[in-house]
Amino acid sequence: MSAIRQRPSLIDRAGEVRANPARLEELWHKAQIIEVGKGRIRSSIEGLTFIPPAQAIGGERYFLGIELETNIPFFAWASGAVESDVEDYLTLRELSGGLSPLQLEIAMHAIALSNWHGAHPHCAKCGAATRADLGGAVRVCDVDESQHHPRTDPAVIVLIKDRADRILLGHQPVWPEGRFSTFAGFLEPGETFEQCVTREAFEESGVRLTEIKYLGSQPWPFPASIMIAFEAITDAPDDARPDGEEITEVKWFSRAQLKSSAEDGSLLLPPKVSVARQMIEGWLGATELDASKLAGETWR
C-alpha cells in the first residue's frame, strides 16, 4: 500500500468553548491572530503574519482552537480589508510549501472557514442577512432563527496501478505542458466513496478498477473540499485513454521512468503539500527523487 503521512492534529479545536462568549473573549485577548479574506491570508514568504488583538478591530472572528503543546489560542480575523493585489496577502497555494505543520493546519482551517463565511452571507431559507456565531463555527439568521453550518465537499483521489506495479497519471488541459497527476473527482449524491472512485477513474481514464483501498485524507480548502485518497488496480492497462475534456493525456510510469522523467524536467509533479504528491512518493518508496533536479512547484 502507498503510505500517506497522517500527522496527528496539533490543535485542540475546543468545541466546548464556542458557546461561551466570555471564554472566547478571554482567549481572543491572548491569541495569535491571522487576517483572512478573499481566499488569501496575511503572510510573507517566510510564513503567516500574526497580529495583536488591538489591531483587529471590527470584522468577524473565527476561533481556530488552542495549540496542544503551548496552550496558545489561535483565531482568524475576517477584517473585510484583504486585497487581492497586495503582496502582504498570499494565497494558500503560494504559501503552503513553506509553512510548518502547525501553520499549515491553522491556515487550512482559517481559509476554509473564511471561504464559507464569505460565500454564505444570507440565510438559505428566508434570504435575510446572517451573522457569525459560536466562534465562527456557524452562521445564524436572526429572522427565522435558523443555524447554518460550514459545508465541506468530499472528493476522491485515486492512484491507479496495474499488475506490473506501474502507475497511471493524467494531464489536465489547464496545467502546463508535462504536468501529470493522479485522478480525482467530486462525490455525487447517493454514491459511496468506492463507487465514486470507480466512476471517476473510468470517466477520466477509461479503465475499470478492482482492489480499491483507502489510503488517507487531506483538507483541501480550494475552496471547500476534503480529498479522500485511495489506490486501486486495473487488469486492463491497455484500455487507458483520456476523456478528451478533463484529461487530455494519460501515461503509464514505472518507478524508473517516473524518476527519470521528473529529474530531466519532462514530468512536472503535483505540489509537495498535496495528497497526490504524497501518494506518488509513497508508491516510489525507496526510489527517492533528487529534489535538486526537479522543476519548481506548479499549481496551474
Q: Which structural domains are found in the chain, ordered by start? A: 11-121 (3.90.79), 153-286 (3.90.79.10)
> β-pairing, 32-37 with 73-78?
parallel
| Parts of the chain with a pLDDT under 50 | none
In 3-state terms, what secondary structure has residue 293?
Answer: helix
At residue 83, the pLDDT reads: 72
Alpha helices in the chain (DSSP H): 21-28, 92-95, 101-119, 193-205, 255-263, 275-284
Query: Which residue type is seen at 45?
Result: I
* CA 191 to chain centroid: 21
Distance CA(169)–CA(183), nearest Å, equals: 7
Distance CA(268)–CA(287), nearest Å, equals: 17
Query: Rounded to 5 degrees, what angle do the CA atoms 148, 71, 95 make?
Result: 65
At residue 249, the pLDDT reads: 98
Distance CA(250)–CA(171), nearest Å, equals: 6
At residue 2, the pLDDT reads: 58
- What angle in degrees, to the nearest 10, is found between the helix axes of 275-284 and 255-263? 120
Phi, psi of 35 (to 5 degrees): -90, 130
Distance CA(150)–CA(132), nearest Å, equals: 11
At residue 118, the pLDDT reads: 92
Please give the span between the terminal C-alpha atoms of the chain, in angstroms, as a whole number.
29
- For the chain, the average pLDDT equals 93
Q: Please provide the size of the chain in residues.
A: 300
Distance CA(80)–CA(103), nearest Å, equals: 22
> Is 207:201 a contact under the CB 8 Å cutoff?
yes
At residue 84, the pLDDT reads: 64
At residue 299, the pLDDT reads: 65
> Which among 112, 107, 78 has a CA at the least distance from the CA of 94?
107
At residue 177, the pLDDT reads: 94
At residue 75, the pLDDT reads: 98
Distance CA(288)–CA(12), nearest Å, equals: 34
